[in-house]
Amino acid sequence: MKINWYYIVGTIFIILIFSSYFFYKLTFNIDNSSNVIATNSENKNNVSRQAANTIAYGLKNTKGEHIDNGSNIIPHNNIISVNVSIDHNLDENREYGLIVLEDFKQVPFKIENKQEFTKYFFNMSPNTSKYIKVTLPVNSNAREVIFLLIKKPNYKLKELDINRAVILEEVLSMRYSINQAAKDTDNVKEKEPDSIITDGLNENMFVTKHKEKLQAVFVEKEGNELTFSVGNDTELPMRYAIVALRDWEQNTIIKDQDVIYTTVPSGVRHIFNFNLPNVDNDTNFQLIALPFPYEVSKENYISQQAFGSFRIVIQNKD
């Protein structure tokens, strides 16, 4: 039997790449050799804000006081007014995008009480800081508000570059309770997974073509079916809210659902099949899994997180 050495070498290469990726993910929180710091009141004067190769981010109230990630924000007349604080301590120019979710639905907001946006892009020069005044109305019965910072929102990664892919998949999240009295989450309607797999590959969020293995997708044609995998490596069940962003606007995921809730038991991953949306030109697409929806707290660090899939460039079939 003739041995196909090209196939064997190629397979080993792919395995090595993704083995390195998972080790990289488990060991470091790196962005171009930089750390990402979600600031809190305990380190608001920390010299790490001045350290090289870091991104520090958080919220301040109108008095300039830091608002701890995971804490409660009290709206005034159903209006939230805050400053998004960013220290971009990197030796590069970079574009960022800001979006806001209320109860996991994308909502418009105003910058400097003037122009309204559903997504706000801005550039930062090397080693600079920025305060962005954000004002948004909230429903009186809303329970959670989420500020998401997207790195390089207009950058489209089409090649197999794991280092860049890891940088782009990370979404910087600031999550807050806005109605602590509304604690009941039992009425959240969950979607049953298409299948459940126990194989130890319990990434929080991963998009793939094959449910049996986590094989990344960077470029795909519109309308094609893919699979997303939501895993749980903790010892207790974990509920997620899952949203999709198409060109950084919220998009439906499965059968007109723009938010999917699922509770993943310990040590397994839930599998869902979905189809990519149609596009007119090359468009960025990303799925984001937000753990512990409506249960964000200062004490539970995971509840403050947002787990992004690898960013996918959707191409028009024409």
Amino acid identity of residue 273, one-letter, is: N
86-139 tens-digit pLDDT = 999 999 999 999 999 999 999 999 999 999 999 999 999 999 999 999 999 999
**Averaged pLDDT for residues 154-162:** 92
Identify the pLDDT of residue 212: 82
The least confident of 33-42, 140-149, 250-259 is 33-42
Structure tokens at 254: 């499965």
In DSSP terms, which residues pair with 231 in a beta bridge? 269
**Model pLDDT for residues 213-244, shown as the tens digit of each residue:** 888 999 999 999 999 999 999 999 999 999 99
Contact 59, 84 (CB under 8 A): yes
Whole-prediction pTM value? 0.85
> What pLDDT, on a 0 to 100 scale, did the predictor assign at position 214?
85
The answer on pLDDT for 27 being more than 70 is: no
9: Cα within 13 Å, side-chain hemisphere: 4
Which tens digits make up the pLDDT trace of 143-153?
999 999 999 99
105-106/94-102 β-pairing: antiparallel
Instruction: Mark residue 313 as left, alpha or beta (left: phi above 0; alpha: psi -120 to 50; beta: remaining).
Output: beta
